[in-house]
Structure 1
Amino acid sequence: RSRPSVDAFRCPGWSEGRNERVIQCVLFDLFGTLVEYTHGRTDQNFEATHRFVREAGVDVAYDEMVQAMDQIFVGLEASSRASEREFSMQDAMRAFLLQRDKAPDELLEDELSARYVRDWMQNVVVPTGLSPYLKAMGKRYRLGIITNTHYRPMIDELVAAMGGPALFEVIVTSVEHGRPKPHPDIFHHALSAMGTTPSETVYVGDSFDADYRGATGVGMGCYLIGRHARVPVRRQVPSVFDLPSRL
């Protein structure tokens, strides 16, 4: 499909009766917004991870490993929602190894994290045309990323595939900041790092809870990728490439 050109856009006031406000900054979610990915952790091919685990001395069948790791993530995600604190990939791998009676080993946890993420990323896709599209946007607007993630190196790899970190003034990850979206602190942190205000910034995501609720909660305008029953139609876009037509 052809990609729309990036034109100047103005964001209508967030409440009725307000004057239009000029948007200077666009902050993006990553997964499901800038890149496409497969939800979940059981459909990917984790054979390489399984081989590494076996070579590390853990006697576990492939399906058992995949299910065990998935359940560990489910538990950590529930704890994260309750505490509003992010966990790291190393936390998850440590929990798996402890289940298998392996003593804590930071080097092993780091290597297992890298292997697991590599397998998980098999179905993560940077859309064709994204790099020139972002470069065009960057000539007119200041760009940044706020993403929930457990592993910063994965974000750096994806950003490099989009055209490099120079495209973005800030890249804020929940694992480094400590608070995951929709916590207001992570949004305020990004705004502060860019030296901008909510009224000058729009956020683009794909999740009602993490993105829409989080961004609008601190006063930013927000657009969501896809269809969302709880979001006004004018705040929904089919893909990130359709954003200029809605702003």
Structure 2
Amino acid sequence: MTQTKAVLLDLFGTVIAYGDVAAGTEASWRGIYGVLADLGCTVPYDEWVPLWEHGFATPLAAKDDIAETPFLGKMLRLFRELGLPQDEAAAQKAVHRCLMGWERHIDLPQDAIPTLCALRERYRVALVSNFDHPPYAHDLLARYGLTELFHHIVISGDIRVDKPDPRIFHHALDALGCEPCEAVFVGDSLDADIAGAQAVGCRPILIDMAGNHPDYAGERIGTLGELPDLL
């Protein structure tokens, strides 16, 4: 068996835990909608939600990816589709309110920092996260005291490539100086994390804090603190 030299980790649902996802989503969307209403949006909230969720999940076309971050670009695209002014300050406000609503429903588990410290003593450690607003992700990592625990950090919005695209995995592996077969990838998404890691040749480990995937037959952990013993 090839010796493990690197551990790559997803962020949300892996290092940082989700709380009440439904409540967090509702708080986030309400934050955005409040800004839209102030700008004159007359679409009822219940009709707006599916429009926004479709837009949020739809990647930006190259012509629209001109804002500081993909999330800001999606917000400005939403403004345009609703016939609202392309007001970047208002779009920034909507993004901020969205993220602050969501942040009330995430948490750093007690075992996260001790586990990352233990991993860093034995392996090269990287964070590889799908996130459309990198400034917030970097700020959150700093506030939680996590930044210095990683040898390398890759946020998809910084490089405009999302998991499971192989390029984001190789970006991290190249920075760590490791081959895919020398790396473990830990994440909570079967598609973005597990399938993506398998496709590039990393050893995938599912973290399933909430027990969402009881039928998954591969390697798995319930908390990050279980990872060092598994390795």
Q: TM-score over 0.5 for the alignment?
A: yes
What is the DSSP-based 3-state SS (H/G/I as helix, E as strand, rest coil) of the residue aligned with 1:103?
coil
CA shift, 1:183, in A, is 1.0
Shift of the 26–42 alpha-carbon distance from structure 1 to 2, 3 Å rule, reads closer
CA RMSD between the two structures: 2.6
- Supply the distance in 1 between the matched residues of 2:197 and 2:113 (Cα, whole angstroms): 25
Instruction: Give the paired residue count.
Output: 218
Q: 1:242 aligns with which of 212, 226, 230?
A: 226
Amino acid at match of 1:143: V
Shift of the 182–118 alpha-carbon distance from structure 1 to 2, 3 Å rule, reads same
- Supply the distance in 1 between the matched residues of 2:147 and 2:110 (Cα, whole angstroms): 18
Shift of the 93–164 alpha-carbon distance from structure 1 to 2, 3 Å rule, reads same
What is the DSSP-based 3-state SS (H/G/I as helix, E as strand, rest coil) of the residue aligned with 2:26?
coil
Q: 1:146 aligns with which of 128, 149, 160?
A: 128
CA shift, 1:228, in A, is 5.4
1:73 matched to 2:56: yes
- Contact in 2 for aligned 1:203/1:223 (Cα 8 Å): yes
1:94 matched to 2:80: no
Amino acid at match of 2:196: G
- Supply the distance in 1 between the matched residues of 2:164 and 2:84 (Cα, whole angstroms): 35
What is the DSSP-based 3-state SS (H/G/I as helix, E as strand, rest coil) of the residue aligned with 2:8?
strand
CA shift, 1:246, in A, is 1.9
- Supply the distance in 2 between the matched residues of 1:206 and 1:62 (Cα, whole angstroms): 30
- Structure 1 partner of 2:85: 103
- Structure 2 partner of 1:188: 170
Amino acid at match of 1:128: Q
What is the DSSP-based 3-state SS (H/G/I as helix, E as strand, rest coil) of the residue aligned with 2:128?
strand
1:126 matched to 2:112: no
Q: 1:229 aligns with which of 187, 210, 215?
A: 215
Amino acid at match of 2:53: D
- Structure 2 partner of 1:203: 185
- Supply the distance in 2 between the matched residues of 1:95 and 1:102 (Cα, whole angstroms): 10
Q: 1:156 aligns with which of 118, 123, 138?
A: 138
- Supply the distance in 2 between the matched residues of 1:122 and 1:160 (Cα, whole angstroms): 17
Shift of the 231–176 alpha-carbon distance from structure 1 to 2, 3 Å rule, reads farther
Q: 1:54 aligns with which of 27, 37, 42?
A: 37
- Contact in 1 for aligned 2:118/2:228 (Cα 8 Å): no
Question: What TM-score comes out, normalization by structure 2 length?
Answer: 0.81
